[in-house]
Amino acid sequence: MNIILDELLRRAVTDADFREEARRAPHDAADRAGIPLADLTAVIEGDVVALHDRGAHPLLIMQLAGSLGIDPMERFGQA
């Protein structure tokens, strides 16, 4: 379990301005959010495998995948 990463996922799913800021200036967004750049990069890129490996909650990963329009099972190689 990674509570900080889970909070990041919630914010990325619900806050379009944050997503845009994170894409535009990832270093600044990560610093302001107090999170590792690697976590933010995984969220921006929709790297569900990395998020899972980092301990993100599976339901939040699914919500992010839905908001980004990606198939998480395909990313996990199960499609």
**What digits encode the pLDDT tens for the residues 18-71?**
989 999 999 999 998 899 999 999 999 999 999 999 999 999 999 999 988 999
Q: Please return the burial class of 52, using the count of CB atoms within 10 Å of its CB with bins 0-12, 13-18 and 19+.
A: middle
For residue 33, count other CB atoms closer than 10 A to its CB: 18
Query: At residue 72, does pLDDT exceed 90?
Result: no
Count of domains for the chain: 1
Query: What pTM did the predictor assign?
Result: 0.85
Query: Is residue 24 one of the residues assigned to a domain?
Result: yes
Query: Is residue 15 one of the residues assigned to a domain?
Result: yes
Query: Is residue 48 one of the residues assigned to a domain?
Result: yes
Query: Is residue 49 one of the residues assigned to a domain?
Result: yes
Tokens at 58, concatenated: 């599976």
Query: Is residue 79 one of the residues assigned to a domain?
Result: no
